[in-house]
Structure 1
Amino acid sequence: MTLHSLAGRLLGIAALALPGILLAAQPDPLDANAAVPAQDYRSPLKDYRAQADEPLQDWRAANDLVGRIGGWRTYSMEGWEQPAEQGAEPAEGGGHGHH
């Protein structure tokens, strides 16, 4: 018997014995008194902080601030503004000339 075949047989025996060892290590799920490891649970809300309301200010001062910023039109255009820097122009043909 060569070393290679002996190693193969030992590996096969170990592979057949391994499932039995793993099953024996698990507690019986129907046994209420079985020892089980403690669960490590961390609530996703543990670090939650409620949003704090800003203190109220005089409505006239708030209106003046909005007017200095540019009024309601400034707020409504924020989402429509284009970025200040535009990238390079795309290549001619958009890369479809290789077909």
Structure 2
Amino acid sequence: MKNFDKGTVIRTVLLLIALINQSLIMFGMPVLPIEEDQVTSLAETLYLAGSMVFTLVTTLTAWFKNNYVTSKGHLQKETLKQKGLTK
């Protein structure tokens, strides 16, 4: 297995966490086990909105960034490094 870029791994893990969290919320199984009588309507709305923002930000970041996960991508990354075109 080829070495993955640290940024690629971090973005992928965050994206998976966000998608799992959204899936759990959709199926009525929130990550935080809070009883319904402990939560006000506003707090629940803020939690859902924050979760959605987290998912959108991680999805857009993972989509926007170059993630060298395929063999072709690894070759591209190496070529860019050799030409001095990457950080």
Tell me the TM-score normalized by structure 2.
0.28
Q: Which has the higher contact order (CA 8 A, sep 6+)?
A: 2
- The structure whose residues are more often helix, as a share, is 2
